[in-house]
Amino acid sequence: MQGEVPPGADLKRAGRMSLGPVPQGFDLSRVVMSHGWCQLAPTAYDDDRRVLHRTLDLPDAGPLTVSVRERSGGGLEASWGRVKGTCDDRIAVKAQLRRMLAMDDDLTELYEHCLKVPTLAWVPASGLGRMLRSPTVFEDLAKTLATTNCSWSLTKLMCARLVSSLGTEGPEGERAFPSPDAVTKAGEQHFTDVVRAGYRARAFVELAAAYDTLGTERWTDPAVDDTTVLKEILALRGFGPYAAEGMLGLLGRPRGLAIDSWVRAKLPTLLGREAMTDAEIAEHFAPLGRWAGAGLWLELTRDWFGL
């Protein structure tokens, strides 16, 4: 099990729906396991049963835990307990889950570019390349902030405390990820004393307070260039190059390499080299153009999938 299954996942199913068209080669497990977001509250993945559980904040039902599985005949089905769900709820379920699973991303260009790098020639046949996201840009920003300068175990604890202390609670104990307003109202002291976010406490609150003015809908607009988006993310407290470049990937802009100590240690080994400078890493993936960050991540995680 990846992560802790949120309350409400075991309720008798009251509602079901298809998530719509599935891209060719799409594999639920490979998308969900693409990085660690599947372990962060309020998300969990049952890797034995291949079921994704996620508490969503819906217009009428409020916090509701939805489960996603692959249908035997193809496609993805979302189901949930407690309520049937209104039309608006169903629209929100579909939109939020399709964003989480990057179902509307076109990877044709990525696969074409991977053929230019011999060590990535395996990618087009793998179905890999989609990164698990959060239902909202705000949550991705907050979780990225929680990964900076700390261990993964601490990241998981911060996210769990954030959800349990500030997430809106449903009747079955479900808690959605907190809204920017909830974070702002909680204040910096809450993040110091309860979330135990350390030096990040102020950054969480400043992010939430400014979120409505950031214009993040522009960040997913293809007409806005990567450099502009990167600059705006770097202007946020707590977002250095590693965090900002990682966020680009979660926005469908996988140019940033997000190089950290783990990358510097693992990549040379995979490529049969003793060591590589950051410049040499960038040069290796340069043929991928705007897909450089995706190529780096695929190289680093290939062994996760036994490929």
What are 9-33's pLDDT values in tens digits?
A: 999 999 999 999 999 899 999 999 9
**Are 8 and 173 spatial neighbours (Cβ–Cβ below 8 Å)?**
yes
144: CATH? 1.10.340.30
Q: Tens digits of per-residue pLDDT, 224-275?
A: 999 999 999 999 999 999 999 999 999 999 998 989 999 999 999 999 999 9
For position 234, what pLDDT does the model report?
A: 97
For position 307, what pLDDT does the model report?
A: 86
CA 295 – CA 181 distance, rounded (Å): 36
**Are 80 and 15 spatial neighbours (Cβ–Cβ below 8 Å)?**
yes
Q: Is the pLDDT of residue 1 over 90?
A: yes
Last residue of a domain, one of 125, 159, 184: 125
Residue 273 falls within a domain, yes or no?
no
CA 280 – CA 105 distance, rounded (Å): 29
Residue 110 falls within a domain, yes or no?
yes
Q: Which domain holds residue 151?
A: 137-240
For position 282, what pLDDT does the model report?
A: 94
Q: Is the pLDDT of residue 301 over 90?
A: yes
Last residue of a domain, one of 240, 274, 295: 240
Give the CA distances from residue 51 to residues 48, 88, 94, in Å, rounded to whole numbers and listed in that order: 8, 24, 16
Residue whose entry in the numeric block shows the structure tokens 């996988």: 254
Kindly indicate the confidence band of residue 72, based on its pLDDT and cuts at 50, 70 and 90. Answer: confident
CA 268 – CA 273 distance, rounded (Å): 5
Cα torsion angle, 89, 91, 97, 99, sign = negative
Residue 269 falls within a domain, yes or no?
no
Looking at the fold, whether 119 and 147 belong to one and the same domain comes out as no
Give the count of domains, the chain.
2
Give the CA distances from residue 126 to residues 23, 50, 120, 134, 285, in Å, rounded to whole numbers and listed in that order: 13, 18, 10, 23, 19
Q: Tens digits of per-residue pLDDT, 119-158?
A: 999 999 998 999 999 999 999 999 999 999 999 999 999 9
Q: Is the pLDDT of residue 209 over 90?
A: yes
Instruction: Return the half-sphere exposure (C-beta side, CA atoms, 13 A cut-off) of residue 80.
Output: 29
Kindly indicate the confidence band of residue 74, based on its pLDDT and cuts at 50, 70 and 90. Answer: confident
Give the pair of three-digit tokens for residue 13: 């199913």
Give the mean pLDDT of the chain. 96
Write down the pTM of the prediction: 0.95
For position 48, what pLDDT does the model report?
A: 96
Looking at the fold, whether 68 and 117 belong to one and the same domain comes out as yes
Kindly indicate the confidence band of residue 161, based on its pLDDT and cuts at 50, 70 and 90. Answer: very high
CA 138 – CA 148 distance, rounded (Å): 16
Residue 297 falls within a domain, yes or no?
no
For position 116, what pLDDT does the model report?
A: 86
Last residue of a domain, one of 240, 255, 274: 240
For position 73, what pLDDT does the model report?
A: 83
76-81 and 13-18 as β-strands: parallel, antiparallel, unpaired? antiparallel
Give the pair of three-digit tokens for residue 188: 């910096």
Residue 265 falls within a domain, yes or no?
no
